[in-house]
Structure 1
Amino acid sequence: MRRSESFHVPRKTSSRVWDDDPRLIPGLPDETSLQILARIPRIRYLSLKAVSRSWKAAVTSPEIYNIRKQLGTTEEWVYIVMNKGLDGRFLHALDPISKTWQRLPPVIPNRSCKIEHRTCAFAAVDGCLYMLGGVSGCSSLTSVWKYDPVSNSWSAANPMSVGRAYFETGVLNNKLFVVGGISFSRVGGDNLYSETPLQSAEVFDPEIGLWSDIPSMPCSKANPTAFLEGSHDLVRIGLASYRGKLYVPQRFSSVGGGEVYDPETNLWMDMPTGMAEGWPPCFGTNQSVIVDGDLYALYRGLSSEDAKVYLYNHHDASWKVVVGYVPLHDKSRYMLMGLLGKLHVVTEDDNDNIIVMRADKRDDSTASLDERDSESVTTSESYIWNVIASRNFGFGILEGCQSLDI
């Protein structure tokens, strides 16, 4: 549906018209009114809430979002978590079509504890966002917090069975899987704690709100104690939900291999050799992503100039470079994501702005059209990178990003 830029919110002229009339729009059945409201871009809903109490209830109800699905008017937005230290974590949303940002409610765990940077996981499933686990003080957390974009609010969800930090998440069959990580626990003094690498995994069903255990990773190709060598970032072993299975690479220095979980058999198996050996090292978060059924992985290399995007070919279990250059800045944080059917990278520029870059296949006949709506960054042999949005959030650290189509 083409968005209308001339839409204006009606003024509330009288309480008799807008509040006392039992219908959303006087003279129309509510079913018709909801069909109209469901066609309005979500970015306008903040203004629509001010029209009347009934309109506010309508645009914050699950019913209107169900209608949006039926009409095909759902919209895919980007959600970014910024960690501002003692001030806590803040969630921001980007509408990539209007290029408009919205600041959303702060992440609720800030009220109860301070979770250390990059120790928790940020995931999206069934139209909601989840903040899971992490480390607070000297202990890993089981806590799970859920953000519902319909009500624009956070709430506590059922906790994981095991406290986890530096772990991975993936979504299969509309269920959220968590894999591996480290369990921290206090052992005596104020700052003394033990670290236990985890091979366990569990799955969350958002429809019933419950966790279930699945078999632990066999770690047949890597000793789990390797997760603790050097930086804790090594514990982020990577994960991709690909072709109906979970793929967990374990590639640290000379240690290779990986495991594959099949939900149909509830068993782990070895990852194909070519896939495991060629999987680009994925230190950090969101370095692999599925776009239109294809698996991509971003590898930065020893410097930002070496950053490349690889594509996996499942027919011969091989990887090839498809984007020979990604314009990352030295020491900038970066995350790969799929959005509106294209590869995107969320990162920082030299001025500490958070930027969202889209990879467009190079086509001279359409390049000018792309550049009209975005700022061209640079080109590779077959792709051109365009900045579709940017925002300066002040101080803070880019910690997570996800997309939701609602």
Structure 2
Amino acid sequence: MGAFLSLASPKCRTSDFGETSKNESCKKQKMSPGCTQYGPRLIPSLPDELSIQILAWVPRICYFNMKLVCRKWKEAVMNPELFKVRKELGMREEWLYILTKVEDDTLLWHALDPLSRKWQRLPPLPHVVREDESRKGSSGLWTWNVVGPSIKIAEIVKGWLGLKDKLDQMPFCGCAIGAVDGCLYVLGGFSRTSTMRSVWRFDPILNSWSEVTSMSIGRAYCKTGILNNKLYVVGGVSRGRAGLTPLQSAEVFDPCTDTWSQVPSMPFSRAQVLPNAFFADMLKPIATGMTSYMGRLCVPQSLYSWPFFVDVGGEIYDPDTNSWVEMPIGMGEGWPARQAGTKLSVVVDGELYAFDPSSSLESGKIKVYDQKEDAWKVVIGEVPISDFTDSESPYLLAGFHGKLHVITKDANHKIAVLRADLRDNLGCLPSSSASLSDGLLCEHSDSLAVSDTVVWKVISSRDFGSAELVSCQVLDV
């Protein structure tokens, strides 16, 4: 706790009235119950060590107002030592962070505290100044936001066929999103001229963004996953003279040392057995998702040639052997796809879930992977999502508080966070624990949507106007 003593103000300020005045000032501070020889205390009449223990029990949502009490309180709630105490006391909280895109293609982060159901808006992403290499001889510097508008994968794969006109018109976009060690990360992306290596980190304790060590290679639309408190990045595309080229390489970031290390490249073994050279040249392999499951990284893959795409299973990275193996056939070929080029999934209580959309966005199913049978099985027959055909991401998946959550827009175009609670044969939630439920009682509310196996409860909704969903992450801080 000694670190918090350094937050106090200096012992005494120099006085214009000489040494006597300074000594008298120090004596007055020592006699005051709210002060020490190191300055005012966090809580009058209590040692700062005890005050920190008290602050650690306060819900994190209150810290935004606590910063306004005084400078010392602000320094205290922004000190990592306080959050170490919270961890020791078991007071860490899982918050949901949602990335949205508004009409002018600006990307905004919003945080939801599921317990208080209050939302907070994160500071905007910083801007990066890059020189446009295609404009040689120009002294001007061009400024792009770290992330920009998202585009459909269809526009990306057109570049593989030499249709580069769309790419030349695009502002900065294609960044990947990750989360590790209690921080958010924004990685890579590409501008009009090149793919980027930049990595930015948001620290929720400091409530600010900062740039960290860049990746070894510029990537756009890469996939991220977490293993052993390290952030893995695989695949994506790079920009060359001939357009976009898919990447097989991978690397890993250690937040403790702020360094990147190389990981063996994905073999894309299924792409090596195409029937002839024509298909091998036309169909380009790409990683279409990644999730950390049972201590390994599972990367589903596809072959693309606009407007066609073919699922070709995937590969699994084992950190113990530092090598890739081919994904089980049922797991890879049966992995549900949201749209061409994207396979979302989430792990909740050790179970791997994915959303399987139907031909209409108004319905869909949740499937779980059965490792023993190497098959995806339906566990939720109906998911209450609305039809937003023009949306890049009509829904997102997240897992927190031991439950599966779906983020989508409701009938009023509000962004809603829905929680799935299992039902028993009597229509009530079970009393024993299960993958999607921890024994809550039956609930009856206007915010409930009932399907055949679950009760969908809207834990929070908010009107973000015309903003579209882009991505989400969960931080445990």
Instruction: Bin the TM-score by the shorter chain.
Output: 0.7 to 0.9
Distance 2:445 2:49 in 1: 36
| 1:403 Cα deviation from its structure 2 partner | 0.6
1:381 corresponds in structure 2 to: 452
- Given the superposition, is the C-alpha separation of residues 236 and 216 from structure 1 closer, same or farther in structure 2, using an over 3 Å criterion? closer
Distance 1:72 1:171 in 2: 22
Distance 1:143 1:251 in 2: 26
Equivalent of 1:157 in 199, 205, 212: 212
Equivalent of 1:242 in 293, 296, 299: 293
Equivalent of 1:323 in 351, 376, 380: 380
The alignment partner of 2:297 has SS state of strand
The alignment partner of 2:372 has SS state of coil
The alignment partner of 2:312 has SS state of coil
Equivalent of 2:418 in 328, 332, 357: 357
- Given the superposition, is the C-alpha separation of residues 360 and 306 from structure 1 closer, same or farther in structure 2, using an over 3 Å criterion? same
1:113 corresponds in structure 2 to: 144
| 1:317 Cα deviation from its structure 2 partner | 1.4
Whether contact under 8 Å (1:91, 1:104) holds in the other structure is: yes
2:344 corresponds in structure 1 to: 287
1:132 corresponds in structure 2 to: 187
Whether contact under 8 Å (2:107, 2:149) holds in the other structure is: no
Distance 2:215 2:186 in 1: 12
Q: Does 1:308 align with 2:357?
A: no
Matches within 5 A, 1:38-57: 38-57=56-75
| 1:316 Cα deviation from its structure 2 partner | 2.2
| 1:228 Cα deviation from its structure 2 partner | 11
My pick for the range that moved more, 206-215 or 390-399, is: 390-399
The alignment partner of 1:113 has SS state of strand
- Given the superposition, is the C-alpha separation of residues 366 and 36 from structure 1 closer, same or farther in structure 2, using an over 3 Å criterion? same
Q: Which amino acid aligns with 1:314?
A: Q
The alignment partner of 2:377 has SS state of strand
| 1:281 Cα deviation from its structure 2 partner | 2.2
Distance 1:391 1:268 in 2: 42
The alignment partner of 1:139 has SS state of coil
2:317 corresponds in structure 1 to: 261
2:395 corresponds in structure 1 to: 334
The alignment partner of 2:261 has SS state of strand
Q: In the TM superposition, what whole-angstrom CA distance separates every residue of 1:332-369 from its partner, at most 9, and x where no partner exists? A: 52111101110001112233311111111124345995
Whether contact under 8 Å (2:422, 2:453) holds in the other structure is: yes
Distance 1:259 1:24 in 2: 53
Q: Which amino acid aligns with 1:337?
A: A
Whether contact under 8 Å (2:337, 2:343) holds in the other structure is: no
The alignment partner of 2:269 has SS state of coil
Whether contact under 8 Å (1:287, 1:299) holds in the other structure is: no
| 1:285 Cα deviation from its structure 2 partner | 5.7
Q: In the TM superposition, what whole-angstrom CA distance separates every residue of 1:286-321 from its partner, at most 9, and x where no partner exists? A: 720110111111121321244111111112212100
2:469 corresponds in structure 1 to: 398
The alignment partner of 1:287 has SS state of coil
Q: Which amino acid aligns with 2:252?
A: V
The alignment partner of 1:221 has SS state of helix
Distance 1:116 1:59 in 2: 32
| 1:137 Cα deviation from its structure 2 partner | 1.9
2:171 corresponds in structure 1 to: none
Equivalent of 1:221 in 247, 270, 273: 270
Identity of aligned residues (%): 50
2:244 corresponds in structure 1 to: 195
Whether contact under 8 Å (2:247, 2:286) holds in the other structure is: no
1:71 corresponds in structure 2 to: 89
Distance 1:55 1:62 in 2: 13
Distance 2:55 2:85 in 1: 10
Q: Which amino acid aligns with 1:329?
A: S
- Given the superposition, is the C-alpha separation of residues 228 and 403 from structure 1 closer, same or farther in structure 2, using an over 3 Å criterion? farther
Q: In the TM superposition, what whole-angstrom CA distance separates every residue of 1:257-289 from its partner, at most 9, and x where no partner exists? A: 211111111111111122122211243667201
Whether contact under 8 Å (1:166, 1:235) holds in the other structure is: no
Whether contact under 8 Å (2:286, 2:301) holds in the other structure is: no
Equivalent of 2:99 in 68, 81, 97: 81
Gaps of 5+ in 2: 1-28, 130-142, 151-173, 304-308, 431-439
TM-score normalized by structure 1? 0.87
- Given the superposition, is the C-alpha separation of residues 385 and 235 from structure 1 closer, same or farther in structure 2, using an over 3 Å criterion? farther
The alignment partner of 2:456 has SS state of strand
Distance 2:469 2:302 in 1: 24
Whether contact under 8 Å (1:79, 1:403) holds in the other structure is: yes
TM-score normalized by structure 2? 0.74
Q: In the TM superposition, what whole-angstrom CA distance separates every residue of 1:44-71 from its partner, at most 9, and x where no partner exists? A: 1111111111111111110110000000
Whether contact under 8 Å (1:238, 1:282) holds in the other structure is: no
| 1:117 Cα deviation from its structure 2 partner | 2.6
Equivalent of 2:79 in 61, 76, 86: 61
Count of residues in Structure 1 that have an aligned counterpart in Structure 2 = 383
| 1:148 Cα deviation from its structure 2 partner | 0.1
The alignment partner of 1:77 has SS state of strand
Gaps of 5+ in 1: 1-14, 188-192
2:225 corresponds in structure 1 to: 170
The alignment partner of 2:330 has SS state of helix
Distance 1:385 1:17 in 2: 53
Structure of higher CA gyration radius? 2
